[in-house]
Chain A
Amino acid sequence: MSDAGGVLTVSEATARWLVMIERAYRGAVERQFADVLPLVVELHRQSGGTDLALRGLAASYALDTDYEPALRIGRRTLDTLTDPRATLRETLAAGVAVLVEEPDLTALGRTAADRLLPGVRVIEGGGLAARWPSYEQVWFL
C-alpha cells in the first residue's frame, strides 16, 4: 500500500506500546520543543519498543512541506516553534515505526501522498485497530 516504507502487517508488529496521536497543532508558540511528538522517542526508549500512529490531521506531520517554523511577534522573530517534521525525522531515526492510515493521507489533498516523509508506513483505513491486540499498551496522546 505504501511505496515509502512498505506495508506493516500484524505479525510484523514487535513494539510493545502503540501511541496514537490524533489531535494536532496544540500551540507552537507556547509549546515550542515541549510538544507531544518528542515524547514518543522517550517512550520508545523506556518501553523497549513503541510504534507511533498519526491519525486525522496529525497525519500531516508526516508530509514534507516548505513550512518554516518561525513567525514574527512584534520585533521578535520566534524561531523556536514546534517543528513536527524535523521531530518526526528524529523519531524515525530512533527506530520508531510511524504509521498513517491511507484515508487520512488522501484527505489532506491531492498531492499529499506524494509528499510522504521517507520511512513512514501507510496502512489501510481502519487497519490500526486490527493491530491493537498485538500491543501491550494502546494510548491516545
Chain B
Amino acid sequence: MTDHLLVESGGPESGAACERFAGDALRLLQDGHHVVLFLVENGVTAALPGASQGVAAFLRSGGELWVDTFSAAQRALVAGDLLPGSRMADMDEVADRLLAPGSRAVWH
C-alpha cells in the first residue's frame, strides 16, 4: 500500500477531465492504496453537493477529501455548504504529505 496525494485544480468547470481524475483516485483506493484527494483553485467547487459524481463516490468509498482553505474562501465557498465528510486543509498539510517518506503525488 502506498500513500497517494492527488491534487485536482480544475474542477467540474474544466469538463470531463475532473471526473476522470476523480475516477483515478477511486481506482487507487479500490486497489488498496491510501488516497488523499486535495481540491485546490477552481477544483474546490467539486466539493459542492451535486457538482461531481466522481468526487462523491470517492468520498463514499473511504477516500480522504481535503478542500483548500484559501481557494474556498477566495471563491466565497463556506465549509458548511460542502460535502459532508470533506475537510478543510491548508497548503502546510499538503507540504507535510508531499514530504512524507514513500508518499507519491500527482497534480492535475
Chain A directly contacts chain B within the complex, with at least one CB pair under 8 Å: yes
Query: Which A residues form the contact surface with B (CB < 8 A)?
Result: 24-25, 28, 56-57, 60, 63-69, 71, 85, 107-112, 115
B51 with A107: CB separation less than 8 A:
yes
A107 with B76: CB separation less than 8 A:
no
Query: Which B residues form the contact surface with A (CB < 8 A)?
Result: 13, 41-42, 45, 48-51, 70, 73-78, 80-82
A60 to B41, CA, bound (A): 13
A110 contacts across to B, CB distance below 8 A:
49, 80-81
A111 with B80: CB separation less than 8 A:
yes
A93 to B31, CA, bound (A): 55
A10 to B75, CA, bound (A): 30
**Chain B: CB-nearest residue to A81:** B74
Of the candidates B70, B73, B74, B82, the one having the most CB atoms from chain A within 10 angstroms of its own CB is: B74
B75 contacts across to A, CB distance below 8 A:
24-25, 57, 60, 108
Of the candidates A24, A65, A108, A109, the one having the most CB atoms from chain B within 10 angstroms of its own CB is: A109
A107 with B42: CB separation less than 8 A:
no
A25 with B42: CB separation less than 8 A:
yes
Q: Which of A25, A108, A111 contacts B74 (CB 8 A)?
A: A25
A57 with B76: CB separation less than 8 A:
no
Contact A64 B74, CB 8 Å, known A57-B45, A107-B48, A111-B81: no
A132 to B70, CA, bound (A): 36
A71 to B45, CA, bound (A): 21
